[in-house]
Amino acid sequence: MDLFAFFLSFLVVLAAYLLGSLSFAVIVSRTMGLSDPRTFGSKNPGATNVLRSGSKLAAALTLFLDAFKAWLPVMLVKWFGEPYGLGDGTMAFAGLAAFVGHLFPVFFRFVGGKGVATALGMLLAISWVLGLAVALTWALVAYVSRYSSLAALVAAAVTPVYYVLGGGSAWVMDKGVVLAVTLMAALLIWRHSANISRLLKGAEPKIGKKKS
């Protein structure tokens, strides 16, 4: 990668981080006149907690926008990056930067969500097959266990495995993408550390059970 491509990659990753820093759980809630999701329930600024406000529309918009903000920078690099020397590594790290922005948003005092929807948006943009496989894994574990957090943990853990196993058949494997999805999975698991503790204690609320 030449100096121009390196500098451009840096700008793309920075822009993706800033886009990821838009906490749509807070923005949508404010726009629709709802309570700040950081003040009730799990206090997590994400679609699941927005749903606890009673507005399914707000939750759906939050889910879509949180996924879209990681999908968009990846797809922009896919569509327009090649003539400027931006390859799969830049593409994947743009998605990772948006994901990190969601976790640590500069516009919201670095207090963000857990990143499940944003991670899915990143993966769907890298490969819709990969994203679909991870989403189906989440759905299967959630259906069997009734634990959303456990489903997210399992889905995160298998993401790098799915990518490596699919390399050479479903897509051309890239080391930069491997590193980016592995870091994303590790961060997502780390963000669920409190959920892991509750799961081990049997205190994690199941899907459909309100959290005090």
pLDDT at 122 > cutoff 80: yes
Rg, Å, the chain Cα set: 17
CA dist 123 and 209 (Å) reads 29
Strand pairing partners for 167?
A: 171
User: What DSSP string describes 124-145?
Assistant: HHH-HHHHHHHHHHHHHHHHHH
Give residue 41's pLDDT: 82
Number of residues in the chain: 212
Percent of the chain with pLDDT over 70: 96
Give residue 88's pLDDT: 92
pLDDT at 210 > cutoff 60: no
- pTM to 2 decimal places: 0.93
What CA–CA distances, in Å, run from 187 to 7, 42, 191?
A: 26, 19, 6
pLDDT digits (tens, 9 = 90+) for 186-208: 999 999 999 999 999 999 888 76
pLDDT digits (tens, 9 = 90+) for 34-63: 999 999 888 889 998 898 888 999 999 999
User: First vs last Cα of the chain: how many Å apart?
Assistant: 52
